[in-house]
Structures are given as C-alpha cells and as structure tokens.
Amino acid sequence: MSDLSTRERIHPGTAPGEDFHLEIIGDGDFDTAEMSLSIGPAHPATHGVFRIVLDMDGERVIGARPVIGYMHRGFEKLAEYRDFRQIMALVNRHDWLSGFSNELGVALAVEQMLEMEVPDRAQWIRMLIAEWNRVLNHLMFIGSFAIELGAITPMFYAFREREDIQHLLESATGGRLHFTYNQPGGLKIDLPKGFMQQSVDLLAQLRKRTPDFTDLILGNEIFQARTKGVGPLPADVALSYGVTGPTLHATGVPEDSRVTEPYLKYDEVDVHVPLGENGDSFDRFSCLLGRIDASLDIIQQIHDHMPAGPVNQKLPKMVKAPEGSTYVRTENPLGQLGYWLESDGGRTPWRLKMRTPSFSNVQAIPYLLNGVLVPDAVAVLGSVFFVVGDIDR
Amino acid sequence: MTDLVLEQAVTFAAQSASLLTFDSFLLSVAAKIAFALGLFFVVPLVGGYMEHKVMARMQHRRGPVEAGPFGSLQLVADGIKFIQKEDIIPRAADKWVFAAAPGVALVPGMLIFLVIPLGPGVFALDLELGLFYALAISSISVLGILMGGWASANKFSLIGGLRAGGQLIAYELPLILAAITVAVQAQTLSLVGIVEAQSTFMLPGTDINVWFVFPQIIGFGIFFIAAMAELSRPPFDMPIADSELVFGYMTEYTGIKFAMFLLTEYGGMIIMSALMVVLYLGGWQLLPGVPLPGCDGAGGLFDCGWLGTLAGVGITLGKIMALVFVMVWLRVAYPRLREDQLQRMAWIVLVPLALLNLAVVTVAKVVF
Amino acid sequence: MATTSAPGVGLLKGLGVTIKHLFKQPATQMYPKQRPDLAPRTRGVIALMDENCTVCMLCSRECPDWCIYIESHKETVPPAKEGGRARTRNVLDRFAIDFSLCMYCGICVEVCPFDALWWSPEFEYAEYDMGKLLHEKEKLREWMDTVPAPPMLEEGAVAPAEVTDAIAKKEKELEAEAEKQREASAAAEAPKSKAVESGGGAPKKADVEVKGAGEIDQETFDKLIAEGKSERIARSKAKAAWVRKEKERLRAEQESAEGGAEGEGAGEEAAAKPKAAQVEVEAGQIDQETYDKLIGEGKSERMARAKAKAAYVRKERARLTAEQETASAEPATDDAQADDAGAVEGADAEPAPAQKVADVHVEGTGEIDQETFDRLIAEGKSERIARSKAKAAWVRKEKQRIIDEGGDA
C-alpha cells in the first residue's frame, strides 16, 4: 500500500448522472488514488438493505463505514401503542429469522412483571420451538455465507432442511416465519396431535443430513483458504463492542445466557456451547455449524422430558403489566436479545427498549474490515451474522 | 490485390481434406461458415441445458421443466426473453466501447470453431497452425471483457474487468505451455494432425496405443485448471463474483448484450472442452487402438463411410459433454477462490509445473 | 472443528456429496400441479361465518392494522310474547377484510367470542389489482367452505374446557346408567349376563331420541330363548337391543348429515364423537359431481375446487364413519363400552404400539442421579443446577430402564 496520508481523499461516490471520474492526485507521475465503493443498500452480499461504504486502495479496504437505518420501521415506538398481544405479532418481525425467540423475550418480560407462574409444559414446548427456530436460523446463515463465498449448493441443502422444519412449526403455530405462538403466561394452544412424533422423525433426519455441510463446506480446502485467518476478532475487542452469539463464541468467550443465567428450563438440559479459538471467519462458521448440532442435542433432551399438563392460564381480558420496569435477556440465535420493558400500569408498555444482537455485532464490522481485500470483506460480512431488520428495527 | 486475397483464400481452403470442401469456392466458404456458426449456436445450448439440469439435480432441484420437453428449450426461451429486453446504456458509459465489448468477446469463439475437428473430415479448416491459431484467437475475448469492464463506468465492473485481465495473463502461460508440450509430442500444430498422432502413439517400448492424456496427465490437469480460470468458471469466477462485485464486468449489461456475454461463456466451455478432447483424449477415437466402423487410414480414423463419420462426431461430442459435466460438477461443489490465491497458484505452482512437464516430455521425445 | 487431513480430501468429499445428490429424487414440489400439504392451523386466509357475528367489533378494534371494516344497523325485534318488551339487535351489513393490509397475526380469530372468524389454509388469492384484496362478506363466507377441522391435541395436553365438561357429563351419565343396570340385573337375578349387559345400554349421545313401540330385536330374542332364558327377560333384553341398534343407526345418519359443519364446535366434536374425528380422510381429492355442478353455476375454478374438495372430505368421512360403525356394531354389547371408555380417558388411553421414550411417564419424588450430581459438582457447577440436572438424569435413566424392561417382557 502506498502512503495515502499526504493525499486528499476523493469525495465518496459520484452523484447520479454525473460523469464517472477517477481523479489522479499527485505530481504527474503514475499514481493511484483511493476509490470509495458503496456496497449496498442493494447488493447481493448485504442480504437486506444494509449499506457499507468502503474506502479502497485497489482491492484493499482501508476504511469502512456502515450506514444503517434504511430499514428503520420504528418498532420501539410502535410497541408503545400496542397491547401485549399485538406486540407478540410485532416483535417476531424485527429479526424475521428468529421470530419465536423474539416473542419469547417479550412474553418472559411480561410474565416477570406480573410474577406469573408459567406451566411446565408451556416452558418445555417454548424451549422445543425456540431450539427448532435456532436451527432454522443457523441453516439460513450457513447457506448465505456459502453463497457469499461462491458456493451455491449449500444454500439449497439448507433450504430443504428449512422447509421441513418450517412445515413442522407451521403445523403447531400456523406460521412459517412469524409464529405468533406465545402469549403472556404460556402458549396460545397446545401442540397438535402427532407433533412430537414428527419432531422426533425430523430430528433423526437432520442428524443424518447435517454432516453433508461439514463435508461440503467446512472440510473444503478452498473454503478454509478463504476463511482461516480472515477477519480475526480478539475476545476483548468483541466484548468491548458488545458482540454476542456465535460471533462471540468464535473468539473463545462462552457467554450464552442459556448457560450463564438460564431461563425457561435450560438449567435442566445440557447446553453445549461450541467455542472457537481465533475468532476468524472460519471459527465463526464452525461455531454456527456446531450450534446446530448442540441445538439438536437439546431438542433430543426435550423430547425425553416433555411433561403433561396445561400450556396456558386464564388471562384477564386485557393483560396489563404493573407499574415498574424489567429487563429480560435471552439467547437469540444471533446473540443476546434484551427487552427493557417499562410500564406505567396501562394496557401498553410505556417504553420497550430493544437490545438486538445484530445491531451490536455490526458495530465490529469497521474494525474487522480494516486492511482486508474486497473478497475477504465479503467473507467477513457473511460471517458476522446479522439480519438487517434486527439492526435497524 | 483482390485477386491475391482470393488466391490466398483458395489455397487456404484447399489445404484441408474437409468434407465441407466443394468444387465451388463460395459454396465451400458458405458451408464452412454455416458449420462453425451452427456449432457455435447449438452445442453451447446443449452444454447450457446440461449445466441447468445437472446442477439442479445435484442440488436436489429439478431444473427447467416447462419450456419444451423436459425443459430442453429453456435456453432458447431465455434467448428470446433477452432479445425483448430493454437495451440500457448507462449515461456515463463510453457508448461505443460499451456496445462493441460483447461482440469483441463473442466473435473469437466463433472463429475457433473453424479449426476444431469433430470427426473424420468433419471440420472447416485443417490449418497447419491450428493449435496456435486457436490459442491466439481465444485470448482476444478477454479484450472484450476488459472493454466492457472499463466502459460500463461502474466500479464493480471495473474491478471485475481488471480481475479478468489479470487472470487471463496469469493463466495463458500455463495453458500455452501445456499445449506446447502436446505439440512437441505430436510434432505438429495441426489439430487434425494431433488426433492422428494420438491414434498411432505407442507407449515407449510396447505396442500399446494410448492417448496423450496418459503420458501427460500433469499437462492435462494444468490445461484443465487453466482453461477453467480463463473461462472464469467457478471456482475461478472472481471476475463475475456475484456476491462481491454484483456481476463483475456484466453488471451494467442488459438484454441481448448480456446474452452475448453469456453465450461467450458457454461457447468458451465447449471450445476448451473440445481442445482438451483433441489434445489429450484422442479426438473422435472411442478407445485407444480401436478403429471406427468403416474407416481406414492412420489408426483407422480417416476415409470413413457415413457410419464412421457419424460415430466419430458422436464420440467427440460425447467427450466434450463429459468434460462440461466435470466443469459443472466443480461449480456445484466448490466455493470461489480469492484473486491473489489464484495468482499465487498460477505463478508458483502451475507455471513451474508446466515448464517441468515440457522439459520432461521433450527429453523423452528425444531419447525414445 | 474440522480435522486437518491430507490435502485434497476435503475437495474430494465435496465432489462426493454432490454426486451423491445427483442420484437422489429432487425435493421440489411441482406446485401448481402438486398441491402443498398444509397443516390445518396454517394461517392462509380468514373466513367469516357471518351467522355467528354479533357485530361486537372486538376483531376490528384488536386488529393491529385496522384492516377489518364492519358496518351494521340496529333492528327492532317484536316482543316474543304478548306484552313483552321489544328488543333491538345488530344486523351485519358489511364485513370486509383488507388482505393487502392484513399481517396475518390471527388476533381477530383469537378474540372472536362467537366463533365467527376462522383460519383456512387456502392461499391462492393473489390479485393483480390491490383493491381486489379487499374481501367482502360474501367472499369471506365462501372461504368458510375451506376451513378444515382443527387437529386433535398432542398427548399430554389438557383438553379444552368444552371437552372436559363433556367428559364429566358423560361420566356422570355412565355412572347413573351403570347403577341402574346393576339394580336391574340384581332384580332379574341373572348375574351371568351382567358382564354382557353392563354399560351396553349407555347411549353414546344423549340427543339421539329413539321412540320404540315395543319393537324387539329378533336375533337377540332368539339367542336368549335358546340360552334358556325366560320369555319375559328375553323380550325385555331384545327390546333394549333394538333401541341400541336404532340409536346406532340414527347416530350414523346424523353424523353423515353433520359432516358439512366441520370446524364448528371443534371441542365438542372431539369429545362427543371421537370416532368421527379420528376417521382419517386423505385430502386433496375433489368430488367431481360437486365440482361440475359449481362450474356449471359459473363459480370460479378455484372456488369450485375448494368446495369440491370439502365435499369430498365430507362424503369420504361419512362413508368411513358408517363403515366403522357397522363394523363396531357387530360385536354389539362390549364395543360400545370400549368406545365410551376411550372417550372418557381421552387421547391418553391410546396404547402406543412401540414405546417411545416420550410416552413413558416416570414419577420421581426428588430422586437424583448421584453420579451426574457428583460429576457436575466436580465440574464446578452450582449445587442448584447440579441437583436439577441430576434429577433430570435420573428421570432419563428411569425411563430407559422402564422401556428396557418393557421390551424384555
């Protein structure tokens, strides 16, 4: 890289209709100039409307500025005008790949404020569906990360599995992405007949099929060459940015609220948290893959445990949280999701603050992108797992 | 002046013992052009259809099913769709270069089909310098890609175009070195001559007839990898790299121009596969040492009846499709390499290996 | 973590995986030709049973998108009795759902206190014109034909209140019946036939009224006479047998007639006619007759298909139920009781053919698995976590033990 400090930077981007220009700045000798490349808001690698402006010297990135907010939908404000039943249908839409886990956070917060005892069966079923949701989410990212590295096939394999899981969850909840299955105090309705058997069968099927991903991607030498040592994130930097989930586990920090402060019945099952060492793209991906197996193990334990009993309780016509506030954090598929719920005793929350995992994870991107090549930038973007709706809310 | 050109053209045409040579010069030229064009527009479509289907089945999909029987006319339908699309030229683009680029990329592909022998006598020209001609012409198409990348006035296109240029320079060398090794072994640059040489090539010290792929398995591997890289086929598709560069040098192209770039890619697959069949896999021979029905001449490969001719063409096309299948298979299975990794592989691994291969074969040729 | 093996092995494995899939059947569903198999709970489209709507406006108010439009007027109903008070009631004029706004959360269906709104899995109502997504009352009523019966609940679930109430009622009836039977048989001094008789006369459905004018079941009569019973006893028992059979027949008729009202009163249906609900009908086929008729009436193809599908299911279910009942009517007396027992115990009673881990119920009173406990403590886990996990481990082991024993037996 040549010395860029003495030169002026080009104004980023060219206005529409303006002629394309690449200014040569220097003393007349052959010289290079920085180029600013705007990736997104509509770019294949940003799967959503996420924009990142790269300052580049040739193909090397010397600066990165994420521009977020293209998809801001005002969830927190909307929630102040919705009662808790309506919020359930709202929050499963900010991270659309982990709808059930989002609902769960709000339900737990409301239950905590009402000091409600949730029936055992409801808690186990919530765990079962949350874990299936986690598998659903991780499969998506396995596919999309592979696509970003140019391997098209894993996406199709992942989507075949996703289709089966979605079908299973649809039979219980009625939805494929936006489940809307929780309500304060439990679940809307018990599982349909045959669900457990289907779940057992699907588990066996997935156990048979997931090794394909290891063989096809993780073990592939090209994949390893593309990801090992790319975008390493040290544990302390990760923690200082508030990175959570598989991205944090890849750095070797075993922070997972299912283990450290178990909610639901996670203290009654063994939760394995796969960890990485270097925090590079490869570790992030292998943690993601490992988490699928870990979730399948949990699902297996849930199958063995499922108690009988009610799944909900009689609710008043309008659920009102008492005056006060609470903070609930759950381990969402992408990291820690926190809901800070403050109520003035009315039918709607006075304030619902979200701490979404994608937002925090994305903060580490400028650090990670400094000095990498464009292809590696894509490998980094694909392995810092985020959902744009979850960033912008 | 005109007479001279005509005279040269006549001698040019007369060089070959092609079935497409007629008494009338114009008829001959027309037949040859029709042959090359026909090949160029039909065989890539078959290859493309196979890519669609094979890729789909490997990804447990069905691929095209609606257009034509088993979706076989899908690419034709796509072509018609492309023609109907709006032809957009970006305002900031260098219009003439932008418009010319797809043509510059496409035409060399058509020209190479002139020298490729499909069967006994089934070729347009048997040039003395056939191999040289094919390799030289195929390098031109990258010019079109560079032009497209530059003229689009798009940063993604520019990066894509430059990557393509760098990739071509890096991989032209091992490709040519591998091809030269074959020429050394066959002692001719004529593609028909190389096929003939393979039908009579015996393993040193024995009377077992083998194709050049056996003594030159390394050369074949180098040629295959280099060909994939030259064609920007995955896993070497960095110039296109849809997840990084949107669509590389093709980003700004629409409609028929885009289709021309696509056709260049599929045509290139067929050309490179055909060259590999001719150079290493014995051309239209079914198995080493087995003559075609009704043929005699060297190794039972020439002066054939219609049956032998047809069989020869079928065998060549079959081998081409087998190689295309492998290319598709690699595309399905592998992620993309990085540009610098690709360059490193070319200069540190492939070029020295190709030189070594050339040296070994040359020495062996002199010794035996 | 991937194990590092010889270079190239990973590349070959990738080729292996893809070529393996080349020879497998594709997973693609050929959608327009092959209909997707959607679960009954699928949130496809909202159907309206407008007779049930009382214009309470709950759905409209609860809708997060405000996409339900309701208009109504008040009507005065003349007094039912002379001198009574005239009453007013709401009459529904317009009920429309704008599916271009709907976010398919299902709150309206959930809050409806009168079961006027239902989910249907139908999804093919996309339009080129956004305005056409505003479905009016008539359109919403048509969707009602596509609403499937709700699925039974999974084992271990608590049955809904309607079902538990019905079961309690049934239990009471059965008890009373059994009491009566005992008295009757004691009076008749026929202890041997007690087992045969008890519970046999229990009506499965209270509302089936059979009025007999002394008809007797000849077959039963002959059998009893041959057994040496007195004529009086034989006659009374034969009369009872006739009533039983008649009820059976009537119920079968009623059920086939009720087939059209599937979806209504799901809980009651599940409680009162477990057999009808358990009859599995392979969906997806259509009733050609209905289809032709509807097409002839100028209905759209999609609508005709949906209705014909529903008609097919209805017919098929009626047929299967009738078959099942004739089959069960043959061993007459004992069977009815078995059915009733099934109804009382609910879904739990079904014996699973192969014992699944999940099916075994282990009741622990706080036993823990010492081994696990020690291990976890040694791993530095807190005592609470160690205890709860050890408890879980004990239950797991116990289940395994029971299954193993069951397998041996």
What are the mean pLDDT values of chain C's consecutive 10-residue runs (409 residues total)? 60 81 83 84 89 86 88 83 79 88 88 88 87 88 85 77 80 87 76 44 45 66 74 73 74 61 42 43 67 74 72 74 61 43 41 45 66 80 76 77 62
Residue C22 to residue B57, Cβ atoms within 8 A: yes
| Contact with chain B for residue A229, Cβ under 8 A | no
Residue A170 to residue C64, Cβ atoms within 8 A: no
Handedness of CA A94, A97, A101, A107 (dihedral sign): positive
Fold of C45-146: Alpha-Beta Plaits (3.30.70)
Please give the distance of CA C55 from its chain centroid, rounded to a whole number.
28
* Within a domain: A12: no
Domain count, chain A: 1
Average pLDDT rounded to a whole number, residues B316-330: 90
Cα–Cα distance, B131 to B271 (Å, whole number)? 12
Residue among A189, A190, A221 whose CB faces C11 most closely:
A221
Cα–Cα distance, B173 to C321 (Å, whole number)? 79
**Residues forming beta bridges with residue B257, ordered by sequence position:** none
Look at residues A177, A182, A6 and name the one whose alpha carbon lies nearest to residue A94.
A177
List all residues 6 or more positions away from C255 whose beta carbon is below 8 Å from its beta carbon.
C273, C276, C318, C321
Minimum Cα–Cα distance from A35: chain B residue: B155
Mutate to test the interface with C, among A180, A217, A265, A283 (most CBs of C within 10 A): A180
How far is the CA of B171 from the CAs of A223, B178, B343, C241, in angstroms?
Answer: 22, 11, 8, 94
What pLDDT sits at residue A203?
A: 92
ipTM: 0.79
Handedness of CA B306, B307, B308, B309 (dihedral sign): positive
Structural domain boundaries enclosing A254: 75-392
- Residue A236 CB-density burial (10 A; 0-12 exposed, 13-18 middle, 19+ buried): exposed
Neighboring chain B residues of A373 at a CB cutoff of 8 Å: 338-340
Residue B54 to residue C22, Cβ atoms within 8 A: yes
* Within a domain: A11: no
Structural domain boundaries enclosing B236: 88-367
* Within a domain: A347: yes
CATH number of the domain that residue A269 is part of: 1.10.645.10
Residue B338 to residue A225, Cβ atoms within 8 A: yes
Query: What percent of chain B clears pLDDT 90, i.e. is strictly above it?
Result: 2
Q: How far is B350 from chain A (nearest CA, A)?
A: 17
- Residue A358 contacts residue A336 (beta carbons within 8 Å): no
Least confident of A42-56, A237-251, B281-295, B333-347: B281-295
Look at residues A331, A337, A335 and name the one whose alpha carbon lies nearest to residue A354.
A337
What pLDDT sits at residue C195?
A: 43
Average pLDDT rounded to a whole number, residues B350-356: 89
Residue A373 to residue B335, Cβ atoms within 8 A: no
Q: How far is B88 from chain C (nearest CA, A)?
A: 27
Tokens matching residue A321: 């949280």
Neighboring chain A residues of C107 at a CB cutoff of 8 Å: 85-86, 89
Phi then psi for C392, rounded to 5 degrees?
-60, -40
Cβ pairs B/C, distance under 8 A: 35
% helix / strand / coil in chain B, to the nearest 5?
A: 65, 0, 30
Q: How many residues does chain A have?
A: 393
* Within a domain: B339: yes
Domain ranges in chain C are: 45-146, 168-271, 274-327, 362-409
Per-residue pLDDT of chain A (393 residues; tens, 9 = 90+): 444 443 444 444 444 444 445 555 555 555 666 778 888 777 776 777 788 888 887 778 888 888 888 888 888 888 888 888 888 888 888 888 888 999 999 999 988 888 888 888 889 999 999 999 999 999 999 988 888 888 888 889 999 889 999 999 999 888 888 888 888 888 888 888 888 888 999 999 999 888 888 888 888 888 888 888 888 888 888 888 889 988 888 888 888 888 888 888 888 888 888 888 888 888 899 899 999 999 999 999 998 888 888 888 888 778 888 888 899 989 888 888 999 988 888 888 888 899 989 888 888 888 888 888 878 888 888 888 888 888 888
How far is the CA of A215 from the CAs of A122, A138, A220, C11, C338, in angstroms?
Answer: 37, 17, 7, 9, 54
What pLDDT sits at residue C213?
A: 57
* Within a domain: A144: yes
b/e B180-200 (16+ beta carbons within 10 angstroms → b): bbbbebbebbbbbbbbbbbbe
Residue among C348, C358, C385 whose CB faces A267 most closely:
C385
Residue among A35, A147, A376 whose CB faces B243 most closely:
A147
Average pLDDT rounded to a whole number, residues B53-76: 86
% helix / strand / coil in chain C, to the nearest 5?
A: 55, 10, 35
Cα–Cα distance, A323 to A350 (Å, whole number)? 9
pTM of the model: 0.72
* Within a domain: A103: yes
pLDDT digits (tens, 9 = 90+) for C132-158: 888 888 888 888 888 888 888 877 777
B301 pLDDT tier (thresholds 50, 70, 90): low
Neighboring chain B residues of A230 at a CB cutoff of 8 Å: none
Q: How many residues does chain C have?
A: 409
